[in-house]
Amino acid sequence: RYGIGPVDAGNTQLQQIYTDLRSISAAMQQYLADNHRPPTQHPGLSTLAEATTVPPVPRNYREGGYLDELPKDPWGEPYRYVNDQLGGGASATYQLSTLGADMAWGGEKENADVGLEHLDYIDHIMRL
C-alpha cells in the first residue's frame, strides 16, 4: 500500500522506526500537555531531550526533559521534523519522518519514507 515493509525477522529497520516514532510521539504529547505548543522548527526535536534557550523558551519544561536522548533512524540520520505551526497554539501540527535508507524522497521497502501517518498501517502489518 505505501511501499513499506515487509515486517519480518530480517527487517529490524522498520521495527526500530516504528518504536522510535512511537517514543518520540509520546514525548511530544507530554511536551504539548506541558507547554501547549510543539517545539519550534529550530531547535526542533532536540528540545524533547534537552531544554532550549532559543525563544520562545517553553515555560513548563519538565525537569529531566521528555526523552533521555533523541533516537536516530536505523541509518544514523536524525528523524525529520517539520513544525507546521502558523500562529501558535496546541492546534499546530507537526510532521515526523525518516526518508529511508536512500535518504531521498519516495522509495519502497528499506528506501520508503516512513512517518507518523504510517504508524497505524505499520501496526497492522506487524500483526500479520
What's the confidence (pLDDT) of residue 111? 86
DSSP 97-114: EE-TTTTSSS-SGGG--E
Q: What is the pLDDT of residue 51?
A: 94
pLDDT at 50: 95
Q: Do the Cβ atoms of 96 and 24 come closer than 8 Å?
A: yes
Cell numbers for 85, please give them.
Answer: 505551526
Q: Are 65 and 50 in contact (CB under 8 A)?
A: yes
Q: What is the pLDDT of residue 86?
A: 59
Per-residue pLDDT of the chain (128 residues; tens, 9 = 90+): 556 666 666 668 888 999 999 999 999 999 999 998 899 888 899 999 999 998 889 999 999 999 999 999 999 999 999 987 655 555 557 899 999 999 999 888 888 899 999 888 888 887 77
Q: Give the per-residue pLDDT at 109.
A: 83
Q: What is the pTM of this model?
A: 0.86
Specify the DSSP class assigned to residue 72.
B
